Amino acid sequence: MLEPANRTPTTPDTVRTVFARLRERKPDLREITDAFEETSVTQARLAEELPLVDLGEWSPPASERRCEGVSLLADDLPAGLPATLITVADTLLPVLGRSFGTIEGELRAFGLALAEGRLDGAALIRAVLDRNRLGLAGLAEAAGLSPGVVAFAAPMVLAPALARLASDLAPLLCGASWGKGTCPVCGGLPAVSYLGKRDEDGNEFLVGGGGRKFLVCSQCASQWHLPRVTCPVCECTESGKLGYFRVEGCDHERIDYCEACKSYLPGIDLRAALDPAPAAIAGIELVHLDLLAQERGYRPAAELPWNRLD
């Protein structure tokens, strides 16, 4: 695997910094900043502090299958992941409830159902990872919960647990050629892309290269390389179908879109960016571009809490 493009660590401090400057640079986005700051900070703290996820009997899929595009979590889940999910829910759901007061009660019910086992953690995780909306709704209803609230909150609760797991599993990815639009660890869709900095190879004459495209997983925040002229959603490689646009004067922020599947992905060009936000929350700085892309009729590659603008 290539070195990740964005090496700004995701810590409570770096996340706070992003929100602080977001307030300053893009005051119009205040509602979004207010809604997600505490949750994002807590997620970052949890990802740092969570104990090792117990892998149990878990083993990765065979390497040939992985080369064919099967993610590490496609077949089995580590035994300890549901427990980690509950740990996260205990801390995160109250924070989320404070930011989203109207559903505070339902969030509490969600946490309770998880803790009491009325809602099967493993099944919930599987449904999220498989992007199985109906399955997720079924699980929620069976536990007497609001499907909408579960669909909203479950990925957010899962994120720190997966981020913790992903950093443990990263060594397993060494040397593998991936080339897919979905995450090699959890199979998630990308939240945002980075165009890498120029090579820091100490060459005394030319600092070459750069511009390699990396995608950031919307679920576990892993970063992986994908050839630039490739749509991460439908893997279309026809240059005529792929395009991008930027807001004039901001040459480091862009939307890559695909005419074949009408999807889009916000991106940050590190060759021009001064102080990149940590990968896990970088997308929140580009919400103004989400708006433009959706106005033009494109759909986000991954649905995120802050890009459901309709």
Partner 1 sequence: MPKSFFIDTSKCTACRGCQLACKEWNALDANATKQVGTHQNPPDLNANNYKLVRFNEHVIDGKVRWFFFPDQCRHCLTPPCKIVADSIKEGAITQDEKTGAVLFTAETKGLTKDDFQSIRESCPYDIPRRNEATGLMAKCTMCFERITNGMLPACVKVCPTGTMNFGEREAMLELANKRLAEVKKTFPRASLANPDDVSVIFLLQDDPKYYHSSAVAEAPAPLDRKAFLAKLVGPFGRLARELS
Partner 2 sequence: MTQHWIDIKNADVVLIIGSNAAEHHPISFRWVTKAKDNGAVVIHVDPKFSRTSARADIHAHLRPGTDIAFMGGLIHYVLSNKKYFKEYVDAYTNAAHLVGEKYAFNDGLFSGWNADKRAYDRSQWAFELDENKQVKKDPTYKNPRCVINLLEKHYERYNLKNVATTTGIPEKELEVIYGHYASTGIRDRAGTIMYALGWTQHTYGVQIIRTSGILQLLLGNIGVAGGGVNALRGEPNVQGSTDHCLLYHILPGYNPMPFSTQPTLADYNKANTPLATDPKSANWWGNRPKYMASMLKAWFGDAATPESDFGYGWLPKADPSDDFSYMYMFDRAYKGQMKGGFILGLNPAQSVPNSNKVRKALDNFDWLIMMELHHSETTDNWRRPGVDPKKVKTECFLVPSAHRLEREGTISNSGRWQMWHNKAIQEPKGVKSFGDFHVELMNKVIELYKKDGGTLPEPIVNLDWPQKFDADTQAKKNNGYYTKDVTVKDKQFKKGQLIAGFANLADDGSTASANWLYCGGYVEDGKPLYKRRDLTQTAEQAAIGLFPNFSWCWPVNRRILYNRAGVDPDGNPWNPAKMVIAWKDGKWVGDVPDGAWPPMSQEGGKNPFIMTQSGMSQLYGPGRLDGPFPEHYEPVETPITQHPFSKQLSSPVYKFFDSDLDKLAKPADAAFPIVLTTYSMTEHWCGGGETRNVPNLLEAEPQLYVEMSQELAKEKGIKNGDGVIVESIRGRVEAIAMVTVRMKPLTVQGKTVHVVGMPFCFGWTTKGCGDSTNRLTVGVGDPNTSIPEYKACLVNVKKADKLTELA
CB atoms under 10 Å from CB of 176, counted, come to: 13
Which amino acid makes up residue 210? G
- Give residues 169-198 in contact with partner 1 (rule: CB under 8 A): 198
Which partner, partner 2, partner 1, none, binds residue 239 by CB below 5 to 8 Å per kind?
partner 2
Per-position x/- string for 225-264, each x denoting binding to partner 1 as judged by CB under 8 A, each - no binding? ------------------------xxxxx-----------
Q: What does the alpha-carbon distance between residue 58 and residue 75 come to, in Å, rounded to a whole number?
A: 10
Binding of residue 51 to partner 2 (CB under 8 A): no
Among the listed residues 7, 21, 142, 237, the single contact to partner 2 using CB under 8 A: 237
Q: What does the alpha-carbon distance between residue 105 and residue 160 come to, in Å, rounded to a whole number?
A: 22
Nearest of 111, 197, 205 to residue 153 by alpha carbon: 111
Number of residues that bind partner 1 (CB under 8 A): 20
Which partner, partner 2, partner 1, none, binds residue 272 by CB below 5 to 8 Å per kind?
partner 1
Among the listed residues 131, 271, 288, 299, the single contact to partner 1 using CB under 8 A: 271
Which amino acid makes up residue 186? C
CB atoms under 10 Å from CB of 125, counted, come to: 23
Are the C-beta atoms of 153 and 93 separated by less than 8 Å?
A: yes
- Write down how long the chain is: 310
Binding segment for partner 2 (CB under 8 A), chosen from 46-54, 81-89, 156-164, 223-231, is 223-231
Among the listed residues 27, 101, 171, 208, the single contact to partner 2 using CB under 8 A: 208
Among the listed residues 69, 135, 138, 179, the single contact to partner 2 using CB under 8 A: 179
Give the DSSP letter string of 57-123: T--PPPHHHHHTT--TTSS---TTHHHHHHHHHHHHHHHHHHHSGGGHHHHHHHHHHHHHTSS-HHH
Which partner, partner 1, partner 2, none, binds residue 271 by CB below 5 to 8 Å per kind?
partner 1
Residues that bind partner 2 (CB under 8 A): 177, 179, 202-206, 208, 227-229, 237, 239
Residues that bind partner 1 (CB under 8 A): 21, 25, 198, 203-208, 249-253, 271-275, 285
